[in-house]
A and B are shown apart, each in its own frame.
Chain A
């Protein structure tokens, strides 16, 4: 039901052992050269150049490849050659499992097809953001995955509204938030009405009624929904080559006047219209 990578799917389904997966990953680590290692292997740079670039990385927030170009160790054409060679020679986890004898080639094809069918529910449907938003693919994926989890985890019928930039976060009964850091920095917020909080609690706790549940538990269920969505966003982002770390969720009680968008941030608001009139919004506070 969650976003997975192929090795995880195989272990979860009992198709390969955890020991076999670890061995296959160790084989990948040996065979798949990192960018610097590949550039050295192709004769473009020396180990000493890599060390200089690594030292420079301590004071510059740049990827190694871009830094090697900026420092004049690689040309842009050479960098593209290195990246192409990395892609063309990459040993994928399925192939590694075949090489160590944990899977046959025939089984690999069958399990890959099953894996693709399992993950088809998380293929993006496409969402339009206002023009000029950086890393738009990541935020489109984040909104898309949120919609899919509203359907699959909360079992709610809804209609997504048009995404717009906003200067103020509109008031609502409560908000649950989680911070992303890594290659991108942002705060993910879900804002819900009181009725919707109970609906989420019923779905998360798998109970017919949540009357009498303490407020602390009801709030926790919204935080848990945010945690599930953000963890799966981080998983999808890693498949896109983007590192997104998550932090424990928090709750916010917005004042009646709403909350101003913090300085240095862009706020994207995705209205989510629930069928019985309950109010829900996804807000992404993206650090500029």
Chain B
């Protein structure tokens, strides 16, 4: 079962994602980081296969963390989760920095799982 780390400053989004991930049968949620800096630490301690990370967070934001993770850990697959997915520049920047895909909010369970299963 693939391990997923959720990174979001919003408790409610983390709850939604953790529920979708843990009920899927294919993935297990190994933790919840509240910002980019925590994500980098938890990537080291929890060694997830996939990171689902918000873009817009106080403290270290998602794109900054993505930049660091892309250099530090070539194996982890990062998917950005954001309400800004439809802003073309943000979407492109995330892909260029190494994100495997971008999930736009509001999201649907089927779409989230399809994207995670394709990784």
Interface of A with B (CB < 8 Å)?
1-5, 7-8, 11-12, 14, 18, 21-22, 25, 149, 152-153, 201, 204-206, 216-217, 220-221, 223-224, 227-232, 234-236, 238-239, 246-248
**B88 engages A8 (CB within 8 Å):** yes
Interface size bracket, B side: 35 or more
A2-B104, A12-B115 known; A231-B83 Cβ under 8 A: yes
Can you identify 24 A-B contacts, CB atoms within 8 angstroms? A1-B106, A1-B107, A2-B85, A4-B86, A5-B88, A7-B88, A8-B85, A8-B86, A11-B95, A18-B100, A21-B92, A152-B106, A206-B19, A224-B10, A227-B56, A227-B105, A228-B106, A229-B83, A231-B87, A231-B105, A234-B87, A235-B84, A238-B89, A248-B57
Is B45 in contact with chain A by the CB < 8 A criterion?
A: no
Q: Known contacts A8-B85, A238-B89; is A204 also within 8 Å of B102 by CB? A: no
Contact A206–B83 (Cβ < 8 Å): no
Please classify the interface of chain A as helix (H, G, I), strand (E, B), loop, or mixed, using the class held by over half of its residues. helix
Known: A25-B92, A248-B9. A18 touches B104 (CB 8 A): no
Bits for B18-51, please: 1 = Cβ < 8 Å to A, else 0.
0100000000000000000000000000000000
Docked CA distance A236–B15 (Å): 27
Number of CB contacts from chain A to chain B under 8 A: 115
Which residues of B are interface residues toward A (Cβ below 8 A)?
9-13, 15-16, 19, 56-58, 82-89, 91-92, 95-96, 99-108, 111, 114-115, 118
- A153-B15 Cα distance, complex, nearest whole Å: 16
Cα separation A229 to B106 with both chains bound (whole Å): 9
Partner of B87, one of A12, A228, A229, A235: A235
Residue on A nearest B9 in the bound complex, by CB: A248
The binding surface of chain B is classed by DSSP as mixed
Return the chain A residue nearest B91 by Cβ. A8
Quote the shortest CB–CB distance from A27 to chain B (angstroms).
Answer: 13
| A248 lies within 8 A of B106 (CB) | no
Contact of A12 among B15, B19, B84, B102 (CB under 8 A): B102
Separation of A229 and B87 alpha carbons in the complex (Å) = 13
**Interface pairs A-B: 10 shortest CB-CB:** A231-B83, A235-B86, A2-B104, A3-B86, A221-B12, A5-B88, A231-B84, A4-B86, A220-B11, A224-B12
Given contacts A205-B12, A206-B19, contact A4 B101 (CB under 8 A): no
Contact of B105 among A22, A216, A228, A238 (CB under 8 A): A228
Name A248's closest neighbour in chain B (CB-CB).
B58
Min C-beta distance of A8 to chain B, whole Å: 5
* Cβ B86 vs Cβ A2 within 8 A: yes
Whole-angstrom distance between the alpha carbons of A246 and B61 in the complex? 13
B43 → chain A closest CB, angstroms: 21
Residues of A within 8 A of B89 (CB): 238
Q: Known: A4-B85, A221-B12, A235-B86. Contact between A12 and B106, CB under 8 A?
A: no
A246-B56 contact in complex given A18-B95, A235-B85, A238-B87, C-beta closer than 8 Å: yes
Q: Which residues of A contact B12 (CB under 8 A)?
A: 201, 204-205, 217, 220-221, 224
